[in-house]
Amino acid sequence: MAAREGEPIRQAVEELTCFLGMRLEDPAFLADPYQCLTPAVRERPVHVLPSGAVAVLGHHACSHVLRDGAFGQGAGELYEMTLLGLRARSLLQLDPPGHTRLRSRIARHFSTRRVHGLAESVSAHSNALLRQCPQGPGDFVPDFAEPLAMSVISDVLGVAHEHRTAFHRDARLVVQGLDQPARSTDDRAIAQARFRFMHYFHQRIKAWDGTARDSSLNALLEGPEDGTRDIREVITTFSLLLSAGYDTTVSLLSHTLAEVSGAPCGRGWALARDPGRIDAVVEEVLRLHSPAQVAPRAAVRDTVVEGVKVARGTIVLPLLAAANRDPAVYDEPDAFRPERHLASGPAAARHLAFGAGAHFCLGAALARLTAQHALTVLADRPPQLTRQPRLYQNNVVVRGLRSLPVTWPPHHESAPATSSAGAPLLAAPACPAPAE
Ligand code: HEM
């Protein structure tokens, strides 16, 4: 049987989990991979696995690997084989020159100015979803996080409103087929959805009349200056935007809600209502619950990382999740402490949730804006966490919640008003005295 796409990465991650004494698909590991990642990063920053693959856990070492041209994919153009044994299907799997060329074509569509232009729409989607959530028991992931992430991606891809219901259905299946063994639906349904997804963009490309210029899709369709346009490249890029942006944003939104609602004495919501601190809240969630746990690379030449020799072709796993809780960089790395991002100096060390170097996440500004605006809207009708268990996705690369049970409050309840300086006018509920 032919090897499945993504298999070498999955095997290496599986080996790492085993090496750390757990099983990849164990619900206990999915719920809390840090129980083995944190002791491993404390032990040493770089671990050589029995197969020869190298797991990089320390913050400094991860940052080095992500920024150093000695680590990459080994493919310079689309559809070449990478050193990880995969066919390069997007810019994420390319090294220069292909990466530089493709990235420069789409980067300007993710500039801060462009992204800020989406703010109103993110708030409108969030408000509409919140209005739809009936009072009582609910699940934050399907009720709010998933539909919001999908609407935002649809805005970015320029999907027309009349096509969104069908598009969302197919796009969800396409995403399910990406990260093995996440497949809960049969392969055939996924293959059909993938076909319709590509067909949709083919049709859009064929029908494009060169006038509308307001979305990424249209901008990409304009093609390079010389008028040439590679349809495969365009479709590949749209697939990447969906795959890179959907699960990760759902994960960020759900973990943000979990941390903010779970903080004692209403402290989380008080911070979320403070315009001067809301960005620190989101940064801390990104650090503490890195949606992308690993950013796989191969050594493209013989090299060394933290004194460990790495031969060309070696699979290298920079574990962003471990690096973001490296005790050598963060005090109390497992604690939710947004204020650490307000400090300057080493205490504010940059987390690696969006990667670093040439492949730094193109959607970082959009993801931050989405989480901040969603949180602002949710603060008007904050759902409460329940005691029911939360469930995690069975994914290799992206760690995200599949279910986060909540209770939605009545619609008429509104949040305490905030002063113009952002401080809550009504005090958060008093914390009960700690038990003796
Ligand atoms: C919380 C949300 C997100 C997280 C945590 C995240 C994380 C990451 C990480 C870690 C990388 C680098 C991977 C590597 O170096 O191998 C990356 C790359 C990328 N991300 Fe994101 N991402 C998020 C949201 C988004 C969104 C919303 C979009 C666009 C709609 C997006 C588009 C991309 C693209 C295009 C790349 C590839 C960049 C390149 O290869 O040059 N991401 N992301």
Q: Which two tokens mark 196?
A: 């319709």
Using alpha carbons, select from 62, 34, 54 the residue that is nearest to residue 329: 62
Q: Hey, CA dihedral for 85, 294, 351, 298, is it positive or negative? A: negative
pLDDT number for residue 152: 96
Return the ligand 1 atom nearest residue 357 CA: 15
If DSSP states are collapsed to H, E and C, what string results for 73-93?
A: CCCCCCCCECCCCCECCCHHH
Q: Whole-angstrom Cα distance, residue 148 to residue 129?
A: 8
Residue 425 located in a structural domain: no
Q: Which residues line ligand 1 (CB under 6 A)?
A: 66, 91-92, 103, 153, 156, 240-241, 244-245, 248-249, 252, 291-292, 295, 320, 353-355, 359, 361-363, 366-367
Q: Whole-angstrom Cα distance, residue 149 to residue 321?
A: 22
Q: Hey, CA dihedral for 271, 276, 278, 284, is it positive or negative? A: negative
Using alpha carbons, select from 46, 22, 99, 78 the residue that is nearest to residue 316: 46
User: Which residue has the CA at smallest separation from atom 32 of ligand 1?
Assistant: 363
pLDDT number for residue 1: 37
Give the relative orientation of helices 231-262 and 98-107 as an angle to the nearest 10 degrees: 70
Alpha carbon of 367 to ligand 1 centroid (Å): 9
One digit per residue, pLDDT tens: the chain, 436 residues?
344 566 788 889 999 999 999 988 889 999 999 999 999 999 999 999 999 999 999 999 999 999 999 999 999 988 899 998 888 888 999 999 999 988 988 888 888 888 999 999 999 999 999 999 999 999 999 999 999 999 999 999 888 889 899 999 988 888 877 765 444 456 788 889 888 988 888 888 777 666 655 555 566 666 555 555 677 788 888 888 998 999 999 999 999 999 999 999 999 999 999 999 999 999 999 999 999 999 999 999 999 999 999 999 999 999 999 999 999 999 999 999 999 999 776 666 799 999 999 999 999 999 999 999 999 999 999 999 999 999 999 888 899 999 999 999 999 655 444 433 333 333 344 455 443 3
Residue 334 located in a structural domain: yes
How many structural domains comprise the chain?
1
Alpha carbon of 192 to ligand 1 centroid (Å): 26
Residue 144 located in a structural domain: yes
User: Which residue has the CA at smallest separation from atom 21 of ligand 1?
Assistant: 361
pLDDT number for residue 429: 46
pLDDT number for residue 32: 94
- Quote the radius of gyration of the chain (alpha carbons, Å): 22
| Residue 101 CB-density burial (10 A; 0-12 exposed, 13-18 middle, 19+ buried) | middle
Alpha carbon of 22 to ligand 1 centroid (Å): 27
Residue 278 located in a structural domain: yes
Residue 417 located in a structural domain: no
Residue 1 located in a structural domain: no
> Residue 356 maps to which CATH number?
1.10.630.10
Residue 255 located in a structural domain: yes
User: Which residue has the CA at smallest separation from atom 9 of ligand 1?
Assistant: 354
Any residues with CB less than 8 A from the CB of 108 and at least 6 apart, and which? 114, 219
Residue 282: which domain range? 7-408
Residue 383 located in a structural domain: yes
